[in-house]
Amino acid sequence: MKIIILGAGQVGGTLAEHLAHEDNDITVVDVDSVRLRDLSTRLDLRTVQGVCSYPITLKEAGAEDADMLIAVTNSDEVNMMACQVAHTLFSTPTKIARVRATQYLTSKGLFSQDAIPIDVLISPEQVVTNHIRRLIEYPGALQVLDFANGLAQLVAVKAYYGGPLVGQELAFLRRHMPNVDTRVAAIYRRNRPIMPRGNTVIEADDEVFFIAARKDIRTVMGELRRVDRGFRRVMIGGGGNIGERLAETLEQDYQVKILEQNLERCTQLSENLKRTVVLHGSATSKRLLLEENIEECDIFCALTNDDEVNVMSSMLAKRLGAKKVLTLINNPAYVDLVQGGEIDIAISPQQATIGGLLTHVRRGDIVNVHSLRRGAAEAIEAIAHGDSRSSRVVGRTVGEVKLPEGVSIGAIVRGRDVMIAHRDITIQTDDHVILFVVDKRRLKEVERLFQVGLSFF
């Protein structure tokens, strides 16, 4: 595909890296020549320096024959105007834009072909908020991903000493839980992937990805690790867009406090939120944390725009007695450095956002893409179409599908039924097939599996 990416920041740069490695024709546009030079020296792509919404810039970038335009600059207005220009002057088929401001997102009818022609809206704040909400709902999980509108979930947990399955072969899982159907999709041991087999033994500190129906997730988690008691008290450091949205989604079910340093913002938060306690002060203030009984806090979420403040406040909260700490890290290179010590979970907004973007770039009927292990792997939800003559998967059992190396089928969702992918299950048309891709070099082969042959038409 010929794709134009507007904005060479963290999201644009990370997306370009993903797509350039998959043999797409990529052009990146930005006003910053330094960022563009850095990308062009590392990746096989074109760069254009200029204002992203100007017609002359888009023309130079090749908008006249581009398949897709992805606008992810730091300005909502530039992103929206670039999509308008691409539609009006160049008839670009697919236009994706990152829009952050709630005022735009909540205005009905604003984004349509007759108004501002954006085909796909990406809201990083909402993506990250949903991500954190799921982690709070499942204490002990490192990542929780929804498939088929939440009917199936893929969960990553770290196996701990003393867990019932640690030291056991995976085949023991089915015997130990005969009434729960689940599948271990992948295991990461010392940051290296292991494709699970029946005789694979789970070791302490393994990062285990398993898939199951939503109703069975808690049961399986209890087998892989000590069951954490449910969270009740949540403290949020930072009352920005993400902090406010998270408090808004949690305050009906949890006791929520927000620490915000800006007094004017505190006033806004107290007016917008109904049950959340809003506190004026710094999340790095030891005195304030102690006064607010941080030792009784179940999870502390550091969600400011400053990585250093987030890391320092998280470490302070953990040392003062917070049970768990979750830290937002804007620089994705730091995520692996901080997670696993005093910081239990580190989240990269860029990686959380990338999955939503990749969903619309993949070929075949791919309806969900989740980036895993900071981009090292992907979980994909694809819909099977056609019949046994036109499709490489329909009419075949899971065992008969010729999967590339490093790819496994985790589950099949048919209607509202979640079926774990055992070898004898036959894939039918319109089934949602959930795949785990450890080796991303195989993505093109996975896409081809779900593309329908000409005989279907």
Domain containing residue 46: CATH number? 3.40.50.720
CA separation (Å) from 115 to 54, 100, 107, 109?
19, 18, 12, 7
Same domain, 286 and 190: no
Domain count, the chain: 4
Cross-strand partners of 324 = 299
| 238 and 318 belong to one structural domain | yes
Residue 455 lies in a domain: no
> What does the pLDDT read at residue 457?
38
CATH code for the domain of 143: 3.30.70.1450
Distance CA 360, CA 118 (A): 13
Domain boundary (302, 325, 351) is at 351
State the residue for tokens 């819909």. 383
Instruction: Check residue 453 and give its pLDDT.
Output: 58
Q: Are residues 238 and 339 in the same domain?
A: yes
Do residues 206 and 245 share a domain?
no
Please tell me the distance from the alpha carbon of residue 187 to that of residue 210, in angstroms, as a whole number: 9
Q: Is residue 186 part of a domain?
A: yes
Does 134 lie in the same domain as 29?
A: no
pLDDT tens track, the chain, 457 positions: 899 999 998 889 888 888 887 777 999 999 999 999 999 999 889 999 999 999 999 999 999 999 999 999 999 999 999 999 999 999 999 999 999 887 888 887 888 888 899 998 888 888 899 989 989 988 888 888 889 888 999 988 888 777 777 888 888 877 777 778 888 888 888 878 888 888 888 888 888 888 999 988 888 887 765 655 668 999 999 999 899 999 999 999 999 999 999 999 999 999 999 999 999 999 999 999 999 999 999 999 999 999 999 999 999 999 999 999 999 998 777 776 776 678 888 888 887 787 777 777 766 577 888 877 766 678 889 999 888 888 889 999 999 998 888 888 999 999 989 999 888 999 999 999 999 888 777 888 888 888 875 444 3
Domain assignment of residue 335, yes or no: yes
Q: Tell whether 289 and 399 lie within a shared domain.
A: no
Judgement on whether residues 48 and 89 belong to the same structural domain of the protein: yes
Looking at residue 168, its pLDDT comes to: 83
pLDDT of residue 456: 41
Boundary of a domain, candidates 351, 381, 412: 351
Domain that holds residue 268: 233-351
Does residue 456 fall inside a structural domain? no
Using the 3D structure, point to which of 351, 383, 418 is the last residue of a domain: 351
Residue 457 lies in a domain: no
Q: 321 and 307 in one domain?
A: yes
Residues 244 and 342 in one domain: yes
Report which of 301, 307, 348, 349 is spatially closest to residue 324, judged by C-alpha positions. Answer: 301
193 with 248, same domain: the answer is no
Q: Is residue 260 part of a domain?
A: yes
Q: What is the DSSP string of 183-242?
A: EEEEEEETTEEE---TTPBP-TT-EEEEEEEGGGHHHHHHHHSPPPPPP-EEEEE--SHH
Write the single-letter amino acid at 24.
Answer: N
Supply the pTM of this predicted model.
0.81
Bridge partners for 210 per DSSP: 155, 184
Q: Note whether residue 154 is domain-resident.
A: yes
What pairing do the DSSP bridges indicate for beta strands 324-328 and 345-347?
Answer: parallel
Same-domain check for residues 316 and 427: no
Kindly list the strands in the beta sheet with 120-122, ordered across the sheet, starting from the edge strand earlier in the chain: 46-49, 25-30, 2-6, 68-71, 94-98, 120-122
**Within its chain, how far is the Cα of 280 from the centroid?**
31
Q: Is 432 exposed, middle or buried (0-12, 13-18, 19+ CB in 10 A)?
A: buried
Same domain, 347 and 365: no
